[in-house]
Each structure stands twice: as C-alpha cells, then as structure tokens.
Chains A and B, each alone.
Chain A
Amino acid sequence: MNDLSFYFGLIFSGLVIKNVLLAQFLGLCPFIGVSKKTSSAVGMGLAVTFVLVVASMISYAFYYLVQVPFNIEFLRTISFVIIIASIVQLIEVITKKYMTTLYESLGVYLPLITTNCAVLGIALLNINYGYDFLGTLLYSLGSGLGFLLVIVLFSAIREKLELLDIPKAFQGLPIALVTAAFMSLAFIGFGGIL
C-alpha cells in the first residue's frame, strides 16, 4: 500500500508539484517557442513525453550498469548528453522507417528535443533522487505529461491573448512571459501537497 501511494505520488509530483516547466524551469525554450498554436503544442508535448521516458530509462540503465561499477558517477552529465542526443537521432530514424504516422506527427519536433534541457534534467534528477527503475519510469512519465499539460494550457491562453488589445510594449513575448509567471505562481501553490 505504501509502495502504491509512493509511486502514485511520483506521477503526481511530476505532473503538477515539481512540474518541469513551471516549478523547475527546465525546457523553457520550446515552452515559449512552440506554444503559439495549440496543435503544435500538443505535438511538441507528446514528443517530449515520449523521448523523456525512453531517455530516462536508458540513462538509468547506463548509470547503474556502467558508471557505478567503474566509479565514474561524476561524469554522468556529459555521458547523459551523449546518450540522449544519440537516442533522439535513433528514435527519429526508427520512427521514420516503421511508424510513419507517428513520424509525420512528431517528426518535426524530434530534432528540437535533442538539446532540450528538460530531458537531460529529468534523467539527472532521477539519479539524484535515487529512484528505482519503476520510480524512474513513473517520474519521467509524470514529468512528460506535466510538460504536455502546461504547454497545451499555455498555448490556449496565448491563442486568446492574440485577440486582445494589449499595450504595444507588452505585445508578443513580454505578455507571454508575464502569463508564464502567473501560471508558475499558480503551480507553485501545489507545493505543500506531498
């Protein structure tokens, strides 16, 4: 029972409490860049979720199977960067060959994720928090879904903002950043739950 609530808590904390975008401020580049339309925000969010889960799993395996036995844990950042970049490339090639529909909907966003700090950040955080394999899986899944949730909400707000009479100095990016700040305040309100 304790285990169950712990794992459920991991998904929930990834989803809202320790949200990658609004509580940990990771991956803000696509958050601002790919959030002008809801359709592209959904594509980006799904691609990030997918890559996040796969990358975290493989980083986890590499860390505990190679780095820990050889006592080179301190090199995890640079090795994770290499691994994630190669994995994203590999995923792109594989989806192009075998999952054409998936490639057509996510393909545009995959190269953007190669250098997304949310993916690297979650892979490193999993190690820092000392989660086991299932924990890693669930926390990455929760974080990815959290990214999806927030970027879709944000893009919906930005679509509405387009219609409003905004003072000239605030038009475009400034009002988007102000909006993001307010959303962040709202999400930090989840802070004390778990």
Chain B
Amino acid sequence: MQQDAVPISSILSLLTGDGGNFLGIIFLSLQVTITAVTCAGLVGLPLGAGLALVRFPGRTVIIVLVNTMMGFPPVVAGLAIFLLLSRSGPLGELGLLFTPKAMMIAQFVLVLPIIVALTRQTIEDLWTEYQDHMTSLGAGRLRSIPTLLWDARFSLVTTLLAGLGRASAEVGAILIVGGNIAGFTRTMTTSIALETSKGDLPLAMALGVVLMSLTLVINSLAFGISRVGARFSGKS
C-alpha cells in the first residue's frame, strides 16, 4: 500500500462528513461503556472493600478466583452471555440479545472483577494503616468500609479508569452479543473491526485514532479532577 497509515484527511472527513451517523457511534460507545463501568463500580467498590475487610471461610479462594477473572477472555464472556440471552437460552424471554443492554451486561461482567480485585488491594493496604485508629473509635471492620472507600477515593479513580479501559477497548464480547447492527449496536470498536474486514484500513485506523483521543480526554479529565480534589481535601 502506498498511502499513509493514518491520513489526517480521513479523520477530518469522519468528523465532518456524515457527522450524525459517526457521532451516534461515539455516543453509543460512551453510553455503553460508562453505564457498564458505573454499574460495575456501584457493585464492585463495596464488594471489593468487603472482601478486603471481612474474614470468612473460603475468602482466599474467592480472592484468587476474582484475580483470575480479571483475565476472563472477552469472547468467552460474550459467548456465555449470548447463550444466556438467546431466545433459546434461560433469559431469552427478556429479548435482550442484539441490543445495547446486552453489550452493557457483557462489559459489566468483564469490568466487575477488575474493580473488585483492585479495590480489595487498595482497601486492604489502607486498613493496615487505619486499623488502630478505627478500632479505638469503636468502628468494626464492616462499619469502616464507607470511611475507607471515601479516604481511598483518589486511588479508586485509577481503579475505575482501569475498568473503563477494559470496557472501551473491548470488541470480542460486544460483537457477539450486540451483533454490530448499523445505527443500533455499532460502536467504535465494532466499526473498526468491520472497516478492517471491508479492507478500508485507513478508515479503520482513523477510527482507532479517534477512539484513542477520546480515551486520552477521559483520562486527562479524571486525572485533573482527582488532582484538584486532592488539593482541596488537603491530600496529595
């Protein structure tokens, strides 16, 4: 091929020409990813903190399992959810297969172990520092969870961003459960897969650059916010 790998012109024409369609794809990608990560955060942060502090039989096994699940191959997750949501599957009546919600579920499943595992590590480390103080205040391990989560909030932003990274880069699972339907379940990453298969490599690469730029913006914002927040709360 004689052309450049990433022609600036094709990125520009993506953003300007046929804009509605392309912006729709970006919007859907953000919507699916952010919903999945938010839900995974709501469930995963308390769960991770609980796993760090509460002692129960089989805890070590669960920690190892959660750590293993961080490496859950997306295609396998996608296939499992596909079989669950298929009309012939146990949850078929919900009619969720090939919808954005199915993609959110898939990403939720992939992101949750990352958030639980990283939160557990963070909170466990913080607990060794706080243990004496919390005990002297009469707060037990369970009662300390909200305080610890709150005090670790700036580290936990990184945890959420790790989850966001997994979700936004993911293509294997959402391709299977979403079906890559134009204008309905087509996201940035499934578009890139599609354009590659059509042999339009420059367009696929241009989409990749846009996706990376979006990720950069989100990470910069998160970094900025936690920096400002840390300064105001007297931590750094």
Say whether A and B bind each other.
Answer: no
Interface residues of B (CB under 8 A from A): none
